[in-house]
Structure formats: structure tokens, C-alpha cells
Amino acid sequence: MMGRTIALAMLVLLLPSRANAALMADPAKLYAQMKASFEKGSAQGWTFYNQQEYLSTIFNAGRAYSLQMPNDPGYANLAQLTVDMASALHYDPLINHEAVPWWVREAALYVQKNNPDRAEQAKAKDLLARVDALEDPIALAQFADEDATALVQAYPHDANAQLERVEANWRGYLISGDASWRSLAFVHANAPTFPIANLPSTWGPSFLNALRNAAAGAESYTQGDQVNAQAVLNRLRLANAPPLIASVKSQPHDVYLTTLAPADEYFGPMGMSILGIQNELKRVNFMIGYGYTTQESGAAVQIATAIDDMHKVYPRDRDLPQLLFDMYTTLEKIGTPDASAARTHMRAILTVEYQDTPQARKLLPL
């Protein structure tokens, strides 16, 4: 698996535009972590957790190679590994929270154009359909349900797989506003084997709140919702455990991420620093306040591009959700076709990749 290589002669022509800023990470160390995760999984028998952990290290290494070493032969290996493992584990952007849709898209496009094997091309096509659905909440919710259901079928006795199925339906409701997904989440949560005592602290609080509202007979819930919610809450009381557990995921922060984007790094076609992004956003809003809306469309779209660029390089920057929200509300005031398209993209990033943040909740039916 590790020795797979693909020719890179046409790589520059085939890859989508990438972030211009440097990544504070060592691709070689991330590649070594990926190999170590593979060896650990092999030694432990490849549990569901082992495979998810391995996929996470592939994502981290792939992003680093894409941003820093796109012409290295390791890039092709990582693109292929991303497609293979993401397909095997039914990767879905709605229930994966590593801010990697851009890399999954890039890897799938690379494999689709460079690997002649029809089975590999089919995998790439399926992954592209999922990441391309980021701006289509209805399709995104449907894909999430399909992928989570496939995970439970593959790992019927794994608690994490069962949690991800309920999460997929719950997040499908949040992203689409279709209450039928919420009802399905209640149905799956009421399954006898569902690990109700293991609700995570990310989506768990809002889900519990919905269960309590349904059990109390709130108007927006069906009779079936009320029955299922009451049963789930009864099971939770009998479990004699804290209602929520912390969400902990192994991430090699020491070599992959820093909390904040450095002030001397620059993003987007205009080369904006984080301070430059904030200042230009203030300037655009100032001009909009004086009636210059369509005139600021181009500048606003450039800021959105820089924020998207920054999100690829520093997905865990603490200011990023607020930047995405501020950019969304700014673009909303402009209304040109380009601004509307950028606004949709900002909303998709915020509500899919950062769905548990206060800023995302302002745009979701919580």
C-alpha cells in the first residue's frame, strides 16, 4: 500500500488552485506518523478506531504535501491512499470534522485523471459527489445517511459507528431543516444497542435538548418523536452515567497545526495577512454603509477567497468561525451573483466543517 507511485508529469496542470501560504508542519514527520498508525492498526487487528485514526493521519499528511510538496512523488501516493481509505470508511463531510473536503476533492480529482483503473475512478467519482454536495443541504443529508448506514452495516457492533449514524441524521436535519431526519435520528437513538451514555459533547447537548422538547410534546415534533424521545431519555436515566462525554480525537497538533495563523503569512490572490483580511473586511462594510454595495463585490469576493485559503492551511485557527460568519453577513448585503456564490461557499464551510461553533449555530435551526 505504501509503495504505490503514480507519474506526476502533468500534476501542475491537473491540480486545482491551492493555498499560497506556508503550512507550519513537517510533511516528512506527518508521513512517518501515518506509517506508524498503519503499523499500529496492523498490530491491533484494524479495529474501526484504528482505521479512523489511520485515515486521519493520511488526511494530515496529504494536506501538508499538497500545500508544501505537491511535486513530490509522495503526493501521488497520498492522493491514492486518501481515495482508497476514505472510500473504505465511507468518508462523509457532514460527519467528519477535520476540515478536509478541499483535500478529498483534490485527491479524488487527481486519481480520477491519473489512475486508469475503473474501480479507482468510481471511488473518486463517489467522493467527489459528496464533497461537491457541500452547498446542497438536501443532497448532503442524504449522502450522510447513506454513508453512516454503510458504516453500521460494516461495523454493526461498534459503538462509534452507531453514534455516527445518529449524528449523520441529526446533522442532516440541522443542515437541511428537514424534520424527517431528526425523526430518524430519534429512531436510531432508540435502538436497544445504541450507546446512549456515550453522547459526545459536540452535537450531544443540542440533541439532548431536542429529545427533551419532543418528550414534552412540543408542537414541531410528531407523536412518534415523542414516544422515541421518552424512551431514549428513560434509557439515559437508567444508564446512571453523565449525559455527555468529551469528544476526544487523536490529532498530531505538535507537527500539523498551530492554533493561530501567523501574522506574517499571506492568503488568497491578493496576499492578505490575517490582519489584512480583518481590516479589508471592515473597509468593505464601511463602504457598504454608505451605499457602495455592488461596487464592493469584487473586493468582498477576494476577501472570501483569502478566508477560504486560510481555512485550508490553518483549519483550527480560533478566529476562523467568526471570520466565516462576518464574511457571510457581508456578502449577504451585496447580492451580486459573484457575492452570492461566495456567500453560499462561506455558509457551507461554516455550517458543515464548523457546525458546533456558536457562529454556525446562528445559521442552523437549533
pLDDT tens digits, residue range 138-150? 999 999 999 999 9
- When pLDDT is averaged across residues 218-228 and rounded to a whole number, the result is 96
Write out the residue range of the structural domain in which residue 183 sits. Answer: 158-239
Q: Into how many domains does the chain fold?
A: 3
The Cα–Cα gap between 162 and 190 comes to 11
The Cα–Cα gap between 107 and 14 comes to 11
The pLDDT of residue 322 is 96
The pLDDT of residue 59 is 95
Question: Does 295 share its domain with 357?
Answer: yes
Question: Does 21 share its domain with 115?
Answer: yes
pLDDT at 108 over 90: yes
Please list the alpha-helical segments (H only) found in the chain: 11-14, 27-44, 48-68, 73-88, 101-114, 118-131, 137-154, 159-176, 179-189, 204-215, 223-239, 253-256, 274-289, 297-313, 320-334, 337-348, 358-361
Whether residue 247 lies inside any domain: the answer is no
pLDDT tens digits, residue range 340-350? 999 999 999 99
The Cα–Cα gap between 141 and 179 comes to 11
Say if CB 111 and CB 121 are below 8 A apart. yes
pLDDT tens digits, residue range 65-74? 999 899 999 9
Q: Which residues of 99-114 are buried (b: 16+ CB within 10 A; e: fewer)?
A: bbbbbbbbbbbbbbeb
Whether residue 142 lies inside any domain: the answer is no
The larger pLDDT score, comparing residue 240 to residue 160, is at 160
Which amino acid is present at 175? I
Say if CB 163 and CB 200 are below 8 A apart. yes
| Residue length of the chain | 366
pLDDT at 20 over 60: no
Question: Does 113 share its domain with 47?
Answer: yes
Whether residue 354 lies inside any domain: the answer is yes
Mean residue pLDDT across the chain: 88
The pLDDT of residue 259 is 62
- When pLDDT is averaged across residues 102-107 and rounded to a whole number, the result is 97
Percent of the chain with pLDDT over 90: 75
Whether residue 5 lies inside any domain: the answer is no
The pLDDT of residue 253 is 38
